[in-house]
Amino acid sequence: MSTAAIANEYGSDVFTLSVMQEYLAKDTVKKLLHTVNDHAPLDPSIANDVAHAMKQWAMARGATHYTHWFQPLTGGTAEKHDAFFEPTGVGETIARFSGKNLIMGEPDASSFPSGGLRCTFEARGYTAWDVTSPAFIKRHSNGATLCIPTVFCSYTGEVLDKKTPLLRSTQAMAKAVRKLMACFGEPADGRAVCTLGPEQEYFLIDRKYYLQRPDLIQCGRTLFGAPPARHQQLEDHYFGSIRPRIIAFMEEVEQELWRLGIPAKTRHNEVAPAQFELAPMFEELNLAIDHNMLTMEVLRNVAEKHGLVCLLHEKPFAGVNGSGKHNNWSVAYNGKNLLDPGSDPQSNAIFLTVLAAVIRAIDEHADILRSATAGAGNDHRLGANEAPPSIISVFLGDQLTEVIERIGLDDGTRPAGAPSPLRIGVDTLPPMTRDTTDRNRTSPFAFTGNKFEFRAPGSSHNCAGVCLTLNTIVAESMSALADEIAALPKEREAFNAGLQQIIRRTIDAHSRVIFNGDGYSEAWVQEAAARGLPNLRTTPEALAPMLDARNLELFANEHVLMPTEMRSRYDVFMEEYSRKVTIEGKVALEMARSMIEPAATAEYGAVCKAVASAKAAGITAGIASVSEVATTLGAGLDRLHADCATLETALTRSPADILSALTALRATVDKLEEDVDAARWPLPKYRDMLFIY
pLDDT digits (tens, 9 = 90+) for 10-49: 999 999 999 999 999 999 999 999 888 877 888 888 999 9
521 by DSSP, 3-state: which?
coil
Break the chain into its structural domains and give their ranges.
3-161, 170-221+233-561, 579-689
What is the average per-residue pLDDT within 571-598? 96
- Residue 123's pLDDT is 61
Res. 153 pLDDT band, cuts 50 70 90: confident
pLDDT at 1: 64
Cα–Cα distance, 261 to 660 (Å, whole number): 45
* CATH H superfamily, domain 3-161: Glutamine synthetase, N-terminal domain (3.10.20.70)
The whole-number average pLDDT for the span 451-464 is: 95
Averaged pLDDT for residues 369-391: 89
pLDDT, average across residues 654-660: 95
Span 570-578, mean pLDDT? 96
Mean per-residue pLDDT, 577-604: 96
- For residue range 244-258, what is the model confidence (pLDDT) as tens digits? 999 999 999 999 999
CATH of region 579-689: 1.20.120.1560
Cβ count near 671 (within 10 Å): 16
Helix (H) or strand (E) holding 663: helix 655-675
In whole angstroms, how far apart are CA 297 and each of 77, 168, 201, 292, 310? 9, 26, 13, 9, 10
Mean pLDDT score, 472-497: 96
Query: Which pLDDT tens digit goes with each residue over 275-295?
Result: 999 999 999 999 999 999 999
pLDDT, tens digit (0-9, with 9 covering 90-100), for 123-151: 667 888 999 999 999 998 888 999 999 99
Say how far apart CA 369 and CA 548 lie, in whole Å. 13
Alpha-carbon distance 314 to 333, whole Å? 34
Q: In angstroms, rounded to a whole number, what is the distance separating the alpha carbons of residues 139 and 112?
A: 25
Q: Which residues contact 210 (CB under 8 A, 6 or more apart)?
A: 216, 217, 309
Task: With cut-offs at 50, 70 and 90, classify the pLDDT of residue 120.
Answer: low
DSSP-derived secondary structure for 96-117: ---HHHHHEE--B-TTS--TTS
Express each pLDDT in 62-115 by its tens digit.
999 999 999 999 889 999 998 988 766 655 555 678 888 888 887 766 678 777
In sign, the C-alpha dihedral spanning 315, 321, 325, 327 is positive
Band (pLDDT 50/70/90 cuts) for residue 339 is: very high
User: What DSSP designation does 226 have?
Assistant: P
SS3 sequence of 126-171 = EEEECCCCCCEEEEECCEEEEEEEEEEEECCCCECECHHHHHHHHH
> Minimum mean pLDDT among 55-69, 340-354, 374-388, 528-542: which range?
374-388
Which pLDDT value is given to residue 113? 74
**CA dist 418 → 398, 407, 409, 410, 452 (Å):** 15, 12, 8, 10, 28
Q: Which is higher by pLDDT, 319 or 110?
A: 319
Q: How far is CA 293 from CA 257, 452, 550, in A?
A: 11, 21, 31
Average pLDDT, the chain: 90
Would you tell me which CATH number, out of the four given (3.30.590.10, 3.40.50.2300, 3.40.720.10, 3.40.710.10), belongs to the domain 170-221+233-561? Answer: 3.30.590.10
Instruction: Tell me the percentage of the chain whose pLDDT exceeds 70.
Output: 93
- pLDDT (tens digit, 9 = 90+) per residue, 187-244? 888 999 999 999 999 999 999 999 999 999 999 999 999 998 878 766 777 888 899 9
pLDDT tens digit sequence for 515-551: 998 888 889 999 999 999 999 999 999 999 999 999 9
Mean pLDDT of 343-354: 90
CB 362 within 8 A of CB 454: no
